[in-house]
Amino acid sequence: TLRRDPLAGRVSPSLIGTTGVIPLSIISTIPDILQHYYHCIINAKKEILLATNYWEKGESVNIIGKALRDLSKRAGNDNRYIIVKLIIDHPTKENLTHNHNILPPSEWSRYDIPSPEEMPNVSLEVNNYHRIILGTFHTKFMIVDRRMALLNSNNIQDRPNLEMMSHLEGDIVNSLYDTFLISWWIPFKPHLVCLNDEAAAQGHFHFGMNNSKLASIQRPLQQAIARARLRLKCHLEKQEPDVYLDEHVLVEEKTNRLSTIAIKALVQHRRAHSPSVLVKATNDLTGAIVGFDMNPRSEIPMTRHLNRSAKSAYETRPDANLSSTELETIAYDFTPFIFHQTHTPFPMALVNRSPYGKPIHVDTANPQDAAWIGAFRYAKKSIFIQSPTLNASPAIDGIIAACRRGVVVTIWLGLGFNDLVEGFGTFQGGTNEHVVKKLYKKLRDGNDGAIKYLQVYWYTGKDQTRPLHFSQKQRNCHIKFMSIDDQVAIMGNGNMDSQSWFHSQEANVMIDSSVVVKEWMDALYKNQSTHQYGRVTFD
């Protein structure tokens, strides 16, 4: 794929194939992932590189803005100066003449980006990058001190989405660092300070709560776990009001259970002094609400958790078909944080694609598309795909060919996801419903029995018994994931639609580890009800 353009993968060829480890993954709503961003940002020592497609005003942007302000305060106390580079995609008239346009500080307020005066010990530079017409910068990742990288499916925006993030360490960080350098393209002002550094080497990796890179956020992680258990306890015992963790709630390290005395003391204190208080916490990984609300609520704690990314007008309730016992089981089963088993560095490949602006669907000579095509072509037993959208012709052809070889292809899609864009004429390839019908028809018309190998599901939220249409803006899934034969997996930024296959710049990591793939798959099944209630059938 590199013969035409050695940088078709937006990374130096020698850095495509590499190794790394994944100590932590998050499969949850955007606030959970961005609170991990928050704690990684405020603990940066020298440099942060952040790339995102959408940067939209809202709570998500506020989290990053507060992180930068708090980082500046910490750096000031230590007499340090932190370099921060941010790439966003907000096409302006300047992008007509140059794909890369430095956004001056005078315009930062339009995006709710903190001013230089608000963060005197942070040097921020913002690059607005878009390749006209369709060459969207769809990449979403962050690198901190060239020691860790967060690769995720979500943008910096508020959406009612289930998303996925992986925390990467090892040589793979060097590869993503290189991707950022190439994506920035123009000179850095000021220069980066980690150019001569290297990612952590083997022997310096730790897992679980012992991970040195996660040491500074161990307490928030413990609070997140304990808060989830407390919410479950309150729901099981039908206690009102719901209690949320703050600094006064103790976590017993030996038993990893909340101190009953502390819980009772907090409840009594809140009842006596704060009958109706909702205060946002910034020292909790999952953005917990400190205090409680005395007003009656019909939603269970997990439903409230899933609603946190939705606008208030679109908040939903748990499905009425679920009994209280079923809801309790569901709440207990929801596991947003996946601490992966201890492992040594395993093979990884950074499979990206460069942006392609021309409105024609021809550009597949890139590592991302080659990885996907290879997955369809060489899978022996099974392929699993979760994507918001599916309509790219190579993906459709690959699915049909795999089914006809006897490979079980399981696809989880969003019902009605982005239909107004995907269904515009025939250019993008059609809506999910249109494509699914097309797949079943082609396999049925083949009369070779291949149709039995295709299994399609609509995404169904963890607290629901039926899929909710995208237009309801209540329960959507934005995860981009593919596993092959339970051994290889690809996760990151790219969807299975024409835009991601042919046009957008994407970043994805392909891993070779049956252990991590199984842990990812287990978490995907546990954190949604798609496999139980989303099966698509056609008469």
Tens digits of residue pLDDT in 213-243: 565 555 665 665 555 445 444 433 444 333 3
Higher-pLDDT residue of 258, 211:
211
pLDDT confidence bin for 267, thresholds 50/70/90: very low
pLDDT, residue 216, reads 53
pLDDT at 219: 61
Structural contact between residues 153 and 492, judged by C-beta atoms closer than 8 angstroms: yes
Distances (CA, A) of 314 to 110, 250, 466: 26, 34, 17
The answer, yes or no, to whether residue 299 has pLDDT greater than 60, is no
CA distance 384 to 179: 27
Neighbouring C-beta atoms of residue 360, cutoff 10 Å: 10
Mean pLDDT of the chain: 83
Match 């995404």 to its residue by tokens.
459
Which two tokens mark 230? 């407390």
Higher local confidence (pLDDT), 89 or 282:
89
Q: What CATH number is given for 21-197 in this structure?
A: 3.30.870.10
Cβ contacts of residue 93 below 8 Å, gap of 6+?
none
Would you put residue 42 in left (φ > 0), alpha (ψ -120 to 50) or beta? alpha
Of the candidate ranges 2-16, 280-294, 473-487, 490-504, the one whose mean pLDDT is the lowest = 280-294
pLDDT at res. 298: 44
In this prediction, residue 252 carries a pLDDT of 32
Alpha-carbon 307 to chain mean position: 17
Q: For 388-435, how does the pLDDT look when each residue is reduced to its tens digit (9 = 90+)?
A: 999 999 999 999 999 999 999 999 999 999 878 776 554 678 999 999
Higher pLDDT pick, 299 / 179: 179
- Closest by alpha carbon to 472, among 525, 419, 422, 433? 419
pLDDT for 418 equals: 85
Determine the pLDDT at residue 98.
94
What token pair was written down for 2? Answer: 């590199």
Q: Which residues of 453-474 are buried (b: 16+ CB within 10 A; e: fewer)?
A: bbebbbbbbbbbbebbebeebb
Residue of higher predicted confidence among 198 and 163: 163
**Residue 327: what pLDDT?**
65
Q: What DSSP line would sit under 142-194, residue for residue?
A: EEETTTEEEEES--BS--SEEEEEEEEESTHHHHHHHHHHHHH-SPPSS--S-
Structure tokens of 106? 């005078």
Per-residue pLDDT for 250 more than 50? no
pLDDT given for residue 421 in this prediction: 79
111-143 confidence digits (pLDDT tens): 999 999 999 999 999 999 999 999 999 999 999
More confident residue, 249 or 301: 301
Evaluate if residue 520 carries a pLDDT over 80.
Answer: yes
In the predicted model, is pLDDT for residue 14 greater than 60? yes
Is the per-residue pLDDT at 211 higher than 70?
no
Select from 283, 212, 223, 295 the least CA-distant residue to 252. 223
Collapsing DSSP to helix, strand or coil, 133 comes out as coil
Cα separation, 143 vs 427, whole angstroms: 35
Residue pair 357/46 in contact by the 8 Å Cβ criterion: no
Q: Is the dihedral of CA 278, 284, 286, 287 positive or negative?
A: positive
Q: Is the pLDDT of residue 258 over 50?
A: no
pLDDT above 90 as % of the chain:
68
The tens digit of pLDDT for each residue in 16-67 reads 999 999 999 999 999 999 999 999 999 999 999 999 999 999 999 999 999 9
Q: What is residue 280's predicted lDDT score, i.e. its pLDDT? A: 29
- pLDDT reading at 461 higher than 50: yes
**pLDDT value, residue 170:** 96
The answer to whether residues 103 and 127 touch, using CB atoms and an 8 Å cutoff, is: yes
Instruction: Name beta bridge partners: 413.
Output: 458
Q: Are strands 481-484 and 251-252 parallel, antiparallel or unpaired?
A: unpaired
Q: Looking at domain 346-534, does it have CATH number 3.30.870.10?
A: yes
pLDDT of residue 200: 77
**Digit-coded pLDDT (tens) for 136-168:** 999 999 999 999 999 999 999 999 999 999 999
Phi, psi for 471 (deg, rounded to 5): -65, -20
| Amino acid type, 248 | H
DSSP for residue 196: T
| The two domains 21-197 and 346-534 share their CATH topology (first three levels equal) | yes
Q: Which long-range contacts (CB under 8 A, 24 or more apart) does 198-202 make?
A: 198/146, 198/174, 199/146, 199/147, 199/169, 199/170, 199/171, 199/172, 199/173, 199/174, 200/147, 200/169, 200/170, 200/173, 201/170, 202/170, 202/344, 202/345
H-assigned helices in 379-417: 393-404
pTM for the whole structure: 0.84
Helices H / strands E in the chain, number of each: 14, 21
Per domain, the residue ranges of the chain are 21-197, 346-534
